């Protein structure tokens, strides 16, 4: 898959997303993915070869590096982006299956009327063209029904995964600050040795950026979930009120008609 295919998928998903969801897609795939691909490897590179300790003891440097950096920052963030972006594919698969189902039914419907009446077929074609033009102008489809449940489920997974990876990061490294010097006394080091990290300031800035963007994405997910949940509840409330008012008016009208008939 190349970048063109990726942006086509993003564009397709954005048509069935809220404004907050499109902002989330923008932050994830533009800021986080592109920055990680373009700048991540150049900042970290072969980080283990740049990690130096003031000892000649064989194996000491490797053991100290493994102790302080059990997993590379870049690989951890790459895993995070893969896991976080995966639930979004649920929405894409739901939209794709619904589109195929509608297309299949439309073909059956048109075929049926082609056999019955050519005039009706022309009318349906004109109506389909008009609706297609309207949908292209609106671009954003209404999120409801099964799509809404799938969308809320994907947001829930994204929130959980973002929070999980932030917890894992701080459990491993305890801070976003990259120290210049580390002290190590793990065997086979003969004594306490000093180890030095390459480009610590640059790595600190990059780490702050990645953690901040992850926190922003988590916040956007929470806001979008609450927005859709509240909107769903309000829509149900308005529908119930409208149904109650219609029923009340109909009952009053029936009562009036019955009294007049008497």
pLDDT tens digit at each of 262 positions of the chain: 555 555 566 666 666 677 888 888 888 877 888 888 887 777 777 677 788 888 888 888 889 988 888 888 888 999 999 898 888 777 666 555 555 555 555 554 445 445 555 444 454 454 444 444 444 334 444 555 566 777 888 899 999 999 999 999 999 988 888 888 889 888 888 888 999 988 888 889 989 999 999 999 999 999 989 988 887 776 555 455 455 455 656 555 666 666 666 5
Q: Are 195 and 143 in contact (CB under 8 A)?
A: no
Alpha helix segments (H runs only) across the chain: 3-14, 19-26, 33-35, 41-44, 60-68, 73-85, 88-116, 118-138, 145-173, 200-261
Q: Which of 152, 154, 147, 157 is nearest to 16 (CA)?
A: 147
The CATH number of domain 3-261 is 3.20.20.10: no
Q: How far is CA 56 from CA 50, 90, 184, 188, in A?
A: 15, 53, 14, 11
Q: Is the overall model pTM greater than 0.85, yes or no?
A: no
């Amino acid at each position: 898959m190349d970048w063109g295919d990726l942006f086509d998928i993003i564009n397709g998903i954005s048509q069935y997303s809220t404004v907050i969801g499109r902002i989330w897609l923008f932050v994830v795939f533009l800021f986080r993915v592109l920055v990680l691909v373009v700048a991540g490897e150049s900042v970290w590179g072969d980080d283990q070869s740049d990690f130096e300790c003031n000892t000649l003891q064989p194996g000491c440097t490797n053991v100290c590096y493994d102790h302080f950096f059990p997993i590379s920052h870049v690989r951890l963030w790459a895993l995070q982006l893969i896991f976080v972006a995966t639930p979004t594919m649920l929405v894409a698969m739901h939209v794709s299956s619904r589109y195929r189902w509608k297309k299949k039914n439309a073909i059956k419907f048109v075929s049926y009327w082609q056999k019955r009446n050519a005039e009706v077929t022309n009318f349906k074609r004109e109506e389909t063209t008009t609706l297609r033009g309207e949908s292209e102008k609106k671009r954003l489809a209404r999120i409801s029904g099964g799509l809404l449940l799938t969308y809320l489920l994907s947001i829930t997974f994204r929130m959980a995964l973002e929070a999980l990876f932030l917890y894992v990061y701080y459990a491993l490294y305890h801070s976003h600050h990259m120290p210049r010097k580390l002290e190590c006394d793990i065997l086979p080091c003969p004594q306490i040795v000093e180890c030095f990290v390459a480009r610590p300031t640059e790595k600190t800035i990059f780490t702050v950026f990645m953690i901040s963007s992850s926190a922003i994405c988590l916040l956007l997910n929470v806001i979008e979930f609450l927005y859709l949940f509240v909107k769903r509840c309000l829509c149900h409330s308005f529908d119930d009120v409208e149904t109650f008012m219609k029923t009340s008016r109909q009952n009053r009208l029936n009562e009036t008609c019955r009294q007049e008939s008497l």
